[in-house]
């Protein structure tokens, strides 16, 4: 266990799907083939993985420094604890540096999942080796490995702890046994993935029902459950009370955010054919093993890698429930409960139909892919495999017969399921043949098939003999773990210093130019928002929920930014390339800087180079020419270049001023679109160049010497066109791998002496987007206030930003009349404003921002964020903790009574001998 855990700690063991190998997806490159400012960064991951990592990096920094409840680094800001408090993430990122914390969190989660599964199974008096195997089968299952780094896996890691606590409650029948049940449930809620939490709680309910029915029968199960009512009440009180802060925040956030685009099919089950991945994880391809994923959805969503050896051991689970004494009845009930969880999840996640429809309708707004229910498949089969392994290692003359009966009992429904799925399996075979993946699947399946055959042989031998060699058990355990780990795709998260994310020159330019309170915007997410977050650059983009007003503003600009075609989602808009950066809505949102693709010609008067009369090879030597700086200075040089195909290497443009000063602009050739003699744009920070000056220009190329020519005139002189500066509110400040504009009209803070009332977000957004500019325009408030509708050009409206931090603004205002102060920050519940220390109302301004009415005169306005229910949450958690302590340490008020299962003879109650010693007759208390 220690060795495997160390391996998990080192590599974090990310499974395919969204967790893709490091050589597949560069998380920092935009979804367009433009030269982004991140090419030099060696850190690679899927965008979603980096989103989670960067969020917890920011939380860790805040915990170690000056804590703030608000983080303004993405979108228009968000509550710092929007991601809940997943135990493993919060511990790792608070204690360790970010480059180490991601791997540490996964390792900690793996150990806890293993230990909690072990505790649950030991409570049922399984052997230590059996409990260890069950823990490994769950900790390294497809669900936990597939969702490594995600809250899904953190919730799942606590699932066996819930069963452990339930087992203690079922056996002890003390009211205090509800405390650990509530504690584990609260930890799952705080981990912030309600869909998986809901499935685990449903699975736990099925486990309890099956457990009681099996142990006490139809007549005895009801009274027994009623006698446990105090336990369930304590569990509910403790669970809700300890999770109260997150529950109320989650509900508040859902009510505030626009979730209208969050739509899932009522039946989002995967399809029965995907059950093949339980034993053959590469059945539909993978990420990193065999062919690429060719099934629907993604590997991480659809696969349910349990492992052939685990499935085989599960067939023998009923053999570990011999006898009629209390131990056997408890075991029989636990096996029935594990089967109930697994069968329910198979039906919901893979077979579909009425049960899936009902489950997803019950989930409501937190509904998602039905395959998230497979957490119960992983946990159920891990427990069943432990029982089967326990039966396999027992000694006794009747063991072979019991093994055969258990296998036969389980194979009947399995055969029925196989017949039901036969048409789907035949379709899979045809698709496999059509795509030509038979050979790659065969190669990728060598380890799973070999491991399954090996365990099948061992089980066959055991079913024929009374005793087994002592080395058989550890060999089976090793085979189970090796088979599971063989399909874990390592994504190193603990990296060397030379491979860590580093700031580029473009990031440095942005940091130097960004004004207080301003944000970085741009097209195509050229600066990956969660990377800018790590560099403490506030960006407008990012994967966050947005208010209806904010969504309406962006939709009014271009609804395509939320479509997959343009690389966006409803939480992650990607502004289409070519979007006008001069729009007044960007001023209102406080976008101080704008990033545009390097190869996209900057805005401004454009003069194309004359048609080429000949061509020159820049590899043979510099191609020279000259041109005159136009009025307004220079924003870009235009060339005619023929690139037969994208190639590695660079194109260097050298501008030489009349005084001999050289300015070099470099472009990567592999980022250029290719066609015949297209006009290529190379942006230049040259608006300060003196109009009328004659500049010499040279073009040089490096890299593979093929497939590129430059347009020249009849004399071989370089043909040059220009884009000049103009009075459009933009100023080119950086022209490296991306063009960065300063937006001089940006207004993160502004004053308006006129107001238009519009309570509907769409109406308000239409007014904001329709402005020609902010100067002289009215503010748009969600409430009518006593201010004129038309602005007065003579109004004195002065302000200065004294301080801006996460969750806090201080602004001095000086006006000759009442006015509305608008702050470019999300108007989220929890913002409080004061004017000269006196409380002031906060309105929604310009569809999504903070608005405050300030009186005439000189004032100090302070705006601070504090969670709405913070005080109440502290009280509720404190009272709940005290209640839990009193119940746990107080006098026992519900003594256990004898059950039917305990009325047995002394001989029947004796623990059963095994091939490796006696069962532990005690139980591990919750």
Which residue in 571, 636, 555 sits closest to 603, CA to CA?
Answer: 636
Distance of CA 725 to the CA centre of its chain: 42
Distance of CA 588 to the CA centre of its chain: 29
What is the Rg, in whole angstroms, of the alpha carbon atoms belonging to the chain? 33
**Residue 631, helix vs strand vs coil:** coil
In degrees, rounded to 5, the angle at the alpha carbon of residue 873 between the alpha carbons of residues 871 and 878 is 100
pLDDT in tens, 123-145: 998 989 999 999 999 999 999 98
CB 556 within 8 A of CB 766: yes
pLDDT in tens, 773-787: 888 899 999 999 989
pLDDT confidence bin for 467, thresholds 50/70/90: low
Determine how many CB atoms are found less than 10 A away from the CB of residue 673: 11
Read off the DSSP letter of residue 273. Answer: G
pLDDT confidence bin for 550, thresholds 50/70/90: very high
Token pair listed for 605: 């008067």
How far separated are the first and last CA of the chain, in Å rounded?
Answer: 23
Question: Would the pLDDT of 469 be above 80?
Answer: no
Which residue in 275, 334, 265 sits closest to 120, CA to CA?
Answer: 334
CB 98 within 8 A of CB 62: no
Listing from the earlier edge strand, what are the strands of the sheet with 819-826? 749-752, 819-826, 849-854, 843-845, 779-781, 755-757
CB 34 within 8 A of CB 525: no
Name residues whose C-beta falls within 8 Å of residue 523's C-beta, 6 or more positions apart in sequence. Answer: 575, 576, 577, 578, 579, 581, 595, 596, 597, 600
* pTM for the model: 0.85
Question: Would the pLDDT of 1 be above 60?
Answer: no
Burial zone of 182 (CB within 10 Å; 0-12 exposed, 13-18 middle, 19+ buried): buried
Res 17: pLDDT? 29
Token pair listed for 584: 């007044």
Question: Would the pLDDT of 38 be above 50?
Answer: no
pLDDT confidence bin for 433, thresholds 50/70/90: confident
Count of CA atoms in the C-beta half-sphere (13 A) of 260:
7
Max mean pLDDT range (291-305, 386-400, 876-890) = 876-890
Which residue in 124, 140, 127 sits closest to 382, CA to CA?
Answer: 140
Question: Would the pLDDT of 902 be above 90?
Answer: no
Beta strands in 753-830 (DSSP E): 755-757, 779-781, 797-805, 808-815, 819-826
pLDDT in tens, 152-162: 999 999 999 99
Phi, psi of 597 (to 5 degrees): -55, 140
Token pair listed for 119: 């505790």
CB 171 within 8 A of CB 921: no
Question: Would the pLDDT of 103 be above 80?
Answer: yes
Give me the mean pLDDT over the 864-880 stretch.
Answer: 96
CB 343 within 8 A of CB 335: no
Token pair listed for 494: 């603990």
Res 24: pLDDT? 24
Distance in angstroms (rounded) separating the CA atoms of residues 662 and 763: 52
Give the chain's mean pLDDT.
83
Distance in angstroms (rounded) separating the CA atoms of residues 863 and 698: 54
Name residues whose C-beta falls within 8 Å of residue 857's C-beta, 6 or more positions apart in sequence. Answer: 814, 815
Distance in angstroms (rounded) separating the CA atoms of residues 538 and 76: 9
Task: Tell which phi-psi region holds residue 694, choosing left (phi > 0), alpha (psi between -120 and 50) or beta.
Answer: beta
Res 6: pLDDT? 30
CB 8 within 8 A of CB 107: yes
Read off the DSSP letter of residue 539. Answer: B
Name residues whose C-beta falls within 8 Å of residue 53's C-beta, 6 or more positions apart in sequence. Answer: 45, 98, 102, 149, 493, 530
Give me the mean pLDDT over the 329-358 stretch.
Answer: 90
Question: Which pairing describes strands 838-840 and 831-835: parallel, antiparallel, or unpaired?
Answer: antiparallel
Give me the mean pLDDT over the 322-332 stretch.
Answer: 76
Residue ranges in 666-796 assigned as alpha helix (H): 761-769
Res 314: pLDDT? 92
Res 898: pLDDT? 43
Return the bridge partners of 740, or none.
Answer: 595, 734
pLDDT confidence bin for 707, thresholds 50/70/90: low
Distance in angstroms (rounded) separating the CA atoms of residues 436 and 427: 14
Distance in angstroms (rounded) separating the CA atoms of residues 432 and 284: 8
Res 549: pLDDT? 95
Residue ranges in 158-282 assigned as alpha helix (H): 159-172, 178-190, 194-227, 229-256
Give me the mean pLDDT over the 302-306 stretch.
Answer: 91
pLDDT in tens, 615-671: 888 888 899 999 999 998 999 999 988 776 656 677 888 999 999 999 888 776 655
Distance in angstroms (rounded) separating the CA atoms of residues 710 and 642: 6
3-state secondary structure 422-479: HHHHHHHHHHHHHHCCHHHHHHHCHHHHHHHHHHHHHHHHHHHCCCCCCCHHHHHHHH
Max mean pLDDT range (508-512, 682-686, 696-700, 858-862) = 858-862
Give me the mean pLDDT over the 283-296 stretch.
Answer: 77
Percent of the chain at pLDDT > 70 equals: 85
Question: Would the pLDDT of 71 be above 90?
Answer: yes
Res 179: pLDDT? 96
Which residue in 417, 380, 425 sits closest to 274, CA to CA?
Answer: 425
Which residue in 822, 40, 119 sits closest to 508, CA to CA?
Answer: 40
For the chain, give the number of residues.
926
Distance in angstroms (rounded) separating the CA atoms of residues 314 and 378: 12
Return the bridge partners of 750, or none.
Answer: 822
Question: Would the pLDDT of 489 be above 60?
Answer: no
Give me the mean pLDDT over the 744-766 stretch.
Answer: 94
CB 504 within 8 A of CB 329: no
Name residues whose C-beta falls within 8 Å of residue 13's C-beta, 6 or more positions apart in sequence. Answer: 7, 106, 110, 140, 145, 148, 485, 488, 490
Written as one string, the DSSP assignment of 140-192 is TSHHHHHTTTSHHHHHHHTHHHHHHHHHHHHHH--GGGHHHHHHHHHHHHHTT
In degrees, rounded to 5, the angle at the alpha carbon of residue 143 between the alpha carbons of residues 296 and 10 is 115
Read off the DSSP letter of residue 902. Answer: G
Distance of CA 269 to the CA centre of its chain: 21
Res 644: pLDDT? 63
Q: Name the one residue in this structure whose structure tokens are 């400040």.
A: 733
């Amino acid at each position: 266990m220690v060795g495997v855990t160390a391996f998990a700690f080192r590599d974090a063991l990310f499974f395919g799907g969204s967790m893709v190998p490091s050589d597949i997806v560069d998380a920092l490159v935009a979804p367009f083939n433009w030269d982004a400012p991140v090419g030099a960064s060696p850190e690679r991951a899927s965008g979603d993985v980096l989103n989670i990592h960067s969020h917890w990096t920011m939380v860790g920094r805040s915990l170690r420094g000056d804590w703030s409840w608000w983080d303004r680094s993405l979108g228009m800001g968000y509550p710092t604890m929007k991601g809940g408090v997943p135990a493993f993430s919060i511990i790792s990122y608070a204690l360790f540096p970010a480059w180490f914390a991601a791997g540490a969190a996964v390792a900690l989660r793996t150990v806890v999942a293993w230990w909690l599964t072990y505790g649950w199974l030991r409570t049922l008096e399984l052997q230590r080796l059996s409990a260890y195997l069950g823990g490994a089968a769950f900790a390294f299952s497809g669900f936990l490995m597939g969702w490594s780094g995600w809250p899904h896996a953190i919730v799942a890691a606590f699932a066996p702890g819930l069963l452990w606590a339930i087992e203690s409650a079922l056996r002890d029948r003390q009211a205090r046994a509800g405390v650990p049940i509530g504690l584990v449930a609260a930890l799952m809620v705080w981990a912030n993935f309600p869909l998986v939490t809901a499935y685990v709680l449903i699975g736990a309910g099925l486990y309890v029902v099956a457990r009681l029915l099996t142990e006490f029968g139809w007549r005895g199960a009801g009274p027994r459950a009623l006698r446990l009512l105090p336990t369930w009440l304590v569990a509910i009180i403790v669970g809700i009370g300890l999770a109260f802060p997150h529950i109320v925040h989650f509900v508040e956030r859902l009510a505030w955010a626009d979730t209208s685009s969050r739509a899932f099919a009522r039946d989002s089950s995967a399809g029965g054919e995907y059950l093949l991945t339980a034993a053959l994880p590469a059945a539909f391809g993978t990420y990193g093993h065999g062919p690429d994923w060719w099934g629907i959805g993604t590997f991480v969503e659809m696969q349910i890698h349990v492992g052939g050896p685990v499935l085989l051991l599960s067939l023998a689970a009923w053999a570990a429930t011999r006898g009629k004494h209390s131990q056997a009845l408890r075991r029989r009930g636990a096996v029935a409960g594990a089967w109930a969880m697994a069968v329910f999840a198979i039906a919901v996640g893979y077979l579909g139909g009425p049960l899936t429809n009902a489950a997803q309708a019950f989930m409501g707004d937190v509904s998602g892919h039905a395959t998230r229910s497979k957490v119960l498949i992983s946990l159920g089969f891990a427990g069943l495999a432990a029982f089967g392994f326990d039966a396999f290692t027992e000694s006794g003359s009747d063991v072979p017969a019991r093994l055969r009966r258990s296998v036969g009992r389980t194979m009947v429904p399995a055969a029925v399921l196989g017949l039901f799925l036969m048409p789907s399996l035949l379709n899979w075979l045809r698709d496999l043949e059509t795509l030509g993946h038979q050979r790659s699947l065969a190669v990728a399946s060598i380890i799973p098939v070999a491991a399954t055959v090996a365990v099948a042989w061992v089980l066959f031998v055991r079913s024929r003999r009374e005793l087994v060699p002592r080395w058989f058990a550890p060999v089976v355990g090793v085979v189970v773990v090796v088979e599971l780990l063989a399909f874990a795709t390592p994504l190193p998260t603990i990296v060397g210093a030379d491979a860590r994310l580093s700031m580029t020159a473009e990031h440095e330019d942005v940091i130097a130019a960004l004004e207080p309170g301003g944000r970085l915007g741009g097209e195509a997410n050229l600066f990956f928002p969660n990377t800018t977050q790590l560099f403490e650059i506030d960006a407008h983009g990012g994967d966050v929920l947005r208010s209806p007003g904010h969504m309406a503003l962006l939709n009014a600009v271009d609804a395509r930014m939320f479509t997959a075609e343009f690389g966006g989602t409803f939480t992650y808009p990607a502004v289409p390339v070519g979007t006008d950066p001069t729009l007044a809505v960007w001023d209102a949102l406080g976008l101080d800087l704008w990033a545009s693709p390097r190869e996209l010609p900057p805005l401004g008067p454009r003069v194309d180079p004359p048609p080429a009369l000949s061509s020159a090879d820049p590899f043979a030597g510099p191609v020279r020419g000259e041109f005159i700086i136009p009025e307004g200075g220079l924003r870009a040089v235009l060339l005619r270049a023929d690139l037969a195909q994208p190639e590695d290497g660079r194109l260097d443009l050298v501008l030489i001023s009349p005084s001999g000063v050289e300015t070099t602009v470099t472009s990567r050739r592999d980022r250029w679109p290719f066609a015949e003699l297209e006009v290529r744009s190379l942006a230049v920070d040259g608006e300060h160049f003196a109009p009328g000056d004659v500049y010499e220009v040279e073009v040089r190329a490096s890299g593979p010497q093929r497939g590129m020519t430059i347009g020249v005139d009849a004399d071989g002189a370089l043909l040059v066109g220009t884009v000049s500066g103009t009075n459009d509110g933009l100023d080119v400040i950086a022209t490296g791998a991306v063009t960065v504009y300063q937006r001089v009209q940006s207004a993160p803070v502004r004053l308006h002496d006129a107001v238009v009332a519009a309570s509907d977000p769409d109406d308000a957004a239409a007014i904001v987007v329709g402005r020609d500019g902010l100067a002289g325009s009215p503010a748009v408030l969600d409430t009518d206030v006593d201010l004129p509708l038309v602005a007065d050009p003579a109004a004195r409206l002065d302000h200065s930003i004294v301080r801006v931090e996460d969750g806090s603004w201080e602004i001095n205002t000086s006006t000759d009349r009442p006015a509305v102060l608008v702050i470019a920050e999300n108007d989220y519940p929890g913002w409080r404003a004061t004017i000269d220390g006196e409380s002031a109302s906060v309105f929604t301004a310009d569809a999504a921002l903070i608005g405050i009415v300030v009186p005439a005169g000189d004032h100090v306005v302070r705006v601070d964020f504090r969670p709405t229910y913070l005080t109440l949450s502290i009280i509720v958690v404190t009272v709940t903790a005290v209640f839990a302590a009193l119940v746990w340490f107080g006098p026992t008020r519900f003594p256990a009574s004898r059950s039917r299962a305990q009325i047995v003879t002394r001989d029947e109650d004796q623990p059963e001998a095994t091939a490796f010693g006696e069962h532990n007759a005690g139980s591990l208390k919750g």
